[in-house]
């Protein structure tokens, strides 16, 4: 059953979803945290229904799936009571464990797994620092870029310490996928704010970015940088245009 390519809003009728045991993925097209799960579903080749949710005018029925109204959310319709998972890292770890066929993305060694999860958590200061700039806030903090580059420097240094093409080693893994969504969005700042990452300061990260961009799951889930820029600009006006994600789809 094909669902309409639109974000369901307040007052919208709850979509009729087939009771076929196929996983249901609730998302917003431009949400980087939801992008994490879009990547996981692509890598693991998990069949799923995608339901898009407007995060400003959330449909009333969405609280039945995500009490806090957040995305991503994944409903496990093949299990008794059809539970729903929220929080991107929780969902990512669940999918990695439940669908190991294509290879595990989290390290199997407990210590390495813990260290990778810590590193992913350390990306939070990167996100919080750049968010006002990335979303075209007309009055971002004066030190936003400085704080962003300082936080991102942790990852430039860590990639050097690991001495491998990916954070996860010789092959792409969980750290790479979990931080990638923001790297897909960073180039849009050149369009809206005339900012781009310094080639010398972030030499390793930029090489890593070019490498990850060639990954099949990354290419399959990518949105064009111009679309990201347009969406971010629409947020400046206080009216996010979620459905522009579909404007080039016939």
Contact between residue 62 and residue 71 where contact means Cβ atoms under 8 Å apart: no
Tally of CB atoms within 10 A around 145: 16
| Nearest of 5, 3, 4, 8 to residue 61 by alpha carbon | 8
Q: Is 31 a catalytic residue?
A: yes
> Quick one: CA dihedral 94, 95, 99, 104, positive or negative?
negative
Tally of CB atoms within 10 A around 177: 28
Contacts of 197 (CB under 8 A, 6+ apart): 152, 186, 205, 206
Contact between residue 138 and residue 192 where contact means Cβ atoms under 8 Å apart: no
Three-class DSSP labels, 108-175: CCHHHHHHHHHHHHCCHHHHHHHHHHHCCCCCCCCCHHHHHHHHHHHHHHHHHHHCCCECCECCCCHH
Query: Cα separation of 80 and 62, whole Å?
Result: 20
Contact between residue 26 and residue 74 where contact means Cβ atoms under 8 Å apart: yes
Contact between residue 136 and residue 235 where contact means Cβ atoms under 8 Å apart: yes
Q: Which one of the listed residues 28, 31, 85, 222 is annotated catalytic?
A: 31
> Which are the catalytic amino acids?
31
């Amino acid at each position: 059953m094909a669902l309409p390519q639109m974000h369901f809003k307040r007052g919208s009728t709850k979509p009729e979803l087939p009771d076929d045991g196929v996983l249901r993925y609730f998302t917003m097209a431009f949400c980087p945290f939801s992008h994490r799960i879009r990547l996981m579903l692509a890598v693991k080749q998990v069949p799923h229904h995608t339901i898009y949710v407007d995060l400003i005018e959330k449909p009333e029925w969405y609280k039945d799936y995500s009490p806090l109204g957040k995305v991503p959310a994944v409903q496990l319709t093949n299990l008794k009571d059809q539970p729903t998972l929220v929080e991107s890292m929780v969902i990512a770890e669940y999918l990695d464990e439940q669908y190991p066929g294509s290879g595990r993305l989290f390290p199997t060694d407990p210590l390495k797994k813990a260290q990778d999860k810590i590193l992913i958590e350390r990306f939070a200061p990167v996100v919080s620092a750049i968010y006002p700039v990335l979303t075209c806030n007309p009055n971002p903090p004066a030190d936003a870029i400085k704080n962003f580059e300082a936080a991102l420097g942790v990852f430039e240094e860590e990639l050097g310490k690991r001495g491998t093409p990916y954070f996860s080693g010789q092959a792409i893994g969980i750290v790479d996928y979990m931080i990638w969504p923001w790297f897909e969005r960073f180039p849009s700042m050149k369009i809206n704010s005339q900012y781009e990452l310094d080639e010398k300061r972030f030499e390793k990260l930029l090489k890593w970015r070019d490498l990850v961009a060639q990954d099949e799951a990354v290419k399959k889930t990518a949105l064009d940088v111009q679309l990201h820029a347009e969406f971010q600009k629409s947020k400046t006006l206080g009216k996010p245009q979620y459905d522009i994600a579909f404007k080039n789809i016939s």
